[in-house]
Chain A
Amino acid sequence: MLGKLDWSAIPFDQPIPLIAGAVVLVGILAVLIWVVVKGHLPYLWHEWITSVDHKRIGVMYILLASVMLLRGGSDAIMMRIQQAVAYQSQGYLPPEHYNQIFSAHGTIMIFFVAMPFVIGLMNLVVPLQLGVRDVAFPTLNSVGFWLTATGALLVNLSLVIGEFARTGWLAFPPLSELSYSPGVGVDYYAWSLQISGVGTLVAGINLVTTVLKLRTKGMNYLRMPMFCWTTLASNLLIVAAFPILTATLAMLLLDRYLGFHFFTNEAGGNVMMFMNLIWAWGHPEVYILVLPAFGIFSEVVSTFSGKALFGYRSMVLATMAICIISFMVWLHHFFTMGAGPDVNAIFGIASMIIAIPTGVKIYNWLFTMYGGRIRFETPMLWSIGFMVTFIVGGLTGVLLAVPPADFMLHNSMFLVAHFHNVIIGGVLFGAFAGFEYWFPKAFGFRLDERWGKLAFWFTFLGFFITFVPLYIAGMLGMTRRMQHYDVAAWRPWMIVAAVGMAVLTIGVICQIMQIVVSIRNREALRDRTGDPWDGRSLEWATSSPPPVFNFAFDPDVRGEDAYWDLKAHAKRQSLEHEPPEYHDIEMPRNSPTGFVCAFFATIMGFALIWHIWWMVILGGLGAWATFVVFAWRDHDEYVIPADEVARIDRVSIEDRRNLVSMAGSV
């Protein structure tokens, strides 16, 4: 009846996951009770959960990422403490638990923090930058978000019901095969990634189509803001790479569930085929994450330097070059496989070549700042911090791209330090820069600068205190994923790293404080102009937060790209023509399809993990029925009458108009 599920699935003998699970459960219940008692439920349901507005979906993605960042961060704290204390002792985490923690940490940070954060920012900003009213597929967009949330939910369920994978974040076979991992951990891992992977693919298709097919009049390709270009490149990679992940995990699941022999040691299975397939997805994946971050830095650096982006066309070229070359370097993740010197040399050189377009970008940002009137506000701090940090990470990456060096450093703490250096220094700093930069656009008030700067400095310093010791430990021969060790020389560095982790934690607390303080002081921080940073692209040409239809008039773009005079021109157009004649606007109606579909996907995923076959069928039928009901509805759009458009548009028009006339006089 319930497949493999029984009471032994709940780890009553392990206090840490139980307590953590209980805390999370109490937290969720408290929030739910507060929502219901305060009567916010109808509002949440109608305005957020069923929303197909790209801005709201973007905000929900970022919220999901932030919550999961806390979970993944807790895992990181536990690991750093374990390695600080587990010198010639077992520490406080038993091996099977420690292994689950590092696996969950990697899985969560990549799939449920970095991915939703960048997808959220792209969703929020790209349609605004393109000057359009919506994305290509609004309802599918909502489906994509909720499927991502389903994946996150399943990963967290594994905390209290059953276990998570103990195989590392990519579940390499043969360890992840049934004979070596008989529990449900790998199944939790694989099914949550399969479900959220569908969500990511949907988001990718949606954003590619949006950029390529939905641009406002005059928004030629070479006039698009840089963030739109990097979004395009990143989502092209999603569309091309995520199916590989889906296929690879499907093969692993077939091995586990039906006794197939893709990656087994027996009957001719080929373990290295898994490495090739998973990294053919995995390497593009890191560029999927970092390209949008590059786009954010391009926007931020040019805005806060008060200058147009230096070398716009070379930036476009560099972005698309990275997009293509990122598919030709996957083998550098396993030089030690023994593919031979020729193959290793080719992939080593390709890996070094990909550093060139990245270097071009760095110089472009530096030259953008050169001679500019730089304002050191929080988004700019994150951007400069990124440049410093990312160069170090990039250079250690070039080091690792040299096969002989890689043979020494493979799977060492040096590698761990390297990829944290590029992912934290690149993706996370980018996500934070974007968060600070576009928060006023999403909510209509700025974030508190003082707490923001504190958060930056603690995170920046904390990062180096944590990860420089890991580089050194790697050089001293320490391999990754060690539950305990006996080498005295590593110990001091592990302790320093734990101190760094504490500093990083203070950074996170500052970030939370920043949000709390800003919400409390929101009236003082209110921005009525829609353009708090003196921005350069179209998202700043509408009010903050933008109305549901984004723009009362379709912007007509005349100049090249996101330049200042383009913005001034676009604003003049919409604001100075007196009196504007408003028209009815058609918008897609909200739909619970995404939420209901994810509900059934959760049931199905859970049932698949625990082999509850009747429930699998139930979930599958439910998901199909949801789409049929959606396809059957008669009215998929509603009309906002011209009067209503006028009323909404006029609310803050004076503030916006004043700002434009001032800008015009400069």
Chain B
Amino acid sequence: MSMTATAGRAHADPHHIGRTAEHEGPAPKRIVTAYGFWIFLLSDIVMFSCFFAAYAVLSGQTADGPKGTEIFEPRNVAIETVCLLLSSFTCGMASIAADVRNRFWFYLGMAVTCGLGLVFLIIEFREFADLVSRGYGPSRSAFLTAFFSLVGCHGLHVSAGVLWLLTMMAQVFAKGFRADVLRRMMCFALFWHALDIVWVGVFSVVYLLGSGG
């Protein structure tokens, strides 16, 4: 029996190419979930890249409307950036707290993250509202179309993130640190950090390049 099995193997792999480490079998659930979520994040970044590309194509098309230098307010953007980067830190604290099952620090970390996210959203919303009230809404020019869409798409993601965050807190409150809750928390943290990375792109491509003008 063992003889034939060996012979069979030699026949099936004459050059011993497949003789690397044997695959161990299905990965544990935590790995699978995080892996799948990473792939989702990559696809989400592909979607963002389309809006970045559209912005790059249309950013010069101001149709006699305002240019970036005329409407961007570096101070607000700086505050937004600080809020979002800090919120990534507090989100990380919340993740650690969840890993060690410390409810107090988890709620605190999540609450601060939520607060910072909301401050970011309020500043962004006011920026948008101000532009629209001055007649510089997204239908003014292709440049503004691309600007509102790219920045707004990120803003929508942050809003969805805040909703998820609150749901996450409610779930920990109701169910505790169950395995499935922890997996979701891990995904949420990945999502939140990914939004930070996208914001770094938005900050550089839209505001830094735009105000250099």
Chain A residues with CB under 8 Å of chain B are 132, 136-137, 201, 204-206, 208-209, 212-223, 239-244, 246-248, 251, 254, 258-262, 264, 266-270, 273, 277, 313, 554, 557-561, 563, 565-566, 569, 624, 628, 631-632, 634, 636
Q: Is the CB of A558 within 8 A of B9?
A: yes
B114 in contact (CB, < 8 A): no
Given contacts A217-B25, A270-B142, A554-B25, contact A251 B54 (CB under 8 A): yes
A277–B146 CA distance with the chains assembled, in angstroms? 14
The 9 A-B residue pairs with the shortest CB-CB distance, nearest first, are A268-B61, A268-B142, A247-B50, A243-B47, A259-B139, A559-B12, A217-B25, A209-B36, A243-B46
- From B20, B27, B47, B184, contact of A247 by CB (8 A): B47
Q: Is the CB of B54 within 8 A of A136?
A: no
- From B23, B36, B184, contact of A205 by CB (8 A): B36
Q: List 5 A-B contacts (CB under 8 A).
A: A214-B26, A267-B142, A268-B63, A563-B12, A565-B8
Q: Is the CB of B174 within 8 A of A632?
A: yes
Q: Is the CB of A209 within 8 A of B32?
A: yes
Type the 1/0 row for B163-180, where 1 means its CB is closer than 8 Å to any CB of A.
100010001001100001
B37-45, B72-80, B203-211: which lies at the interface: B37-45
Chain B residues with CB under 8 Å of chain A are 5, 8-9, 11-13, 17-18, 20, 22-27, 31-33, 35-36, 39-40, 42-44, 46-47, 50-51, 53-54, 57-58, 61-63, 65, 138-143, 145-146, 148-149, 163, 167, 171, 174-175, 180, 184
Contacts of A267 in B (CB 8 A): 61, 63, 65, 139-142, 145
Q: Is the CB of B12 within 8 A of A216?
A: no
Q: Is the CB of B163 within 8 A of A209?
A: no
- From B5, B26, B143, B174, contact of A215 by CB (8 A): B26
Contacts of A246 in B (CB 8 A): 47
Contacts of B33 in A (CB 8 A): 137
Q: Is the CB of A262 within 8 A of B171?
A: no
Q: Is the CB of A558 within 8 A of B5?
A: yes
Given contacts A240-B43, A247-B51, contact A260 B138 (CB under 8 A): yes
Q: Is the CB of B180 within 8 A of A258?
A: no
Q: Is the CB of A217 within 8 A of B23?
A: yes
CB distance from A235 to the nearest CB of B (A): 9
Total of A-B residue pairs, C-beta within 8 Å: 166
A374–B148 CA distance with the chains assembled, in angstroms? 61
Contacts of B25 in A (CB 8 A): 215-218, 554
**Chain B interface, DSSP helix/strand/loop, else mixed:** helix
CB distance from A486 to the nearest CB of B (A): 40
A201–B42 CA distance with the chains assembled, in angstroms? 12
Q: Is the CB of B50 within 8 A of A632?
A: no
- From A205, A260, A266, contact of B149 by CB (8 A): A260
B23, B141, B148: residue with the most chain A Cβ atoms closer than 10 Å: B23
Q: Is the CB of B8 within 8 A of A213?
A: no
Given contacts A248-B50, A558-B5, A631-B184, contact A261 B139 (CB under 8 A): yes
Given contacts A262-B58, A267-B140, A268-B58, contact A242 B43 (CB under 8 A): yes
Q: Is the CB of A201 within 8 A of B143?
A: no
Q: Is the CB of B23 within 8 A of A220?
A: yes
A222–B36 CA distance with the chains assembled, in angstroms? 22
Contacts A204-B43, A241-B46, A260-B145 supplied; 17 other A-B pairs, CB < 8 Å: A213-B31, A217-B25, A220-B22, A222-B18, A239-B43, A251-B50, A259-B139, A261-B63, A261-B138, A261-B141, A268-B142, A269-B145, A273-B57, A569-B8, A631-B167, A632-B171, A632-B174
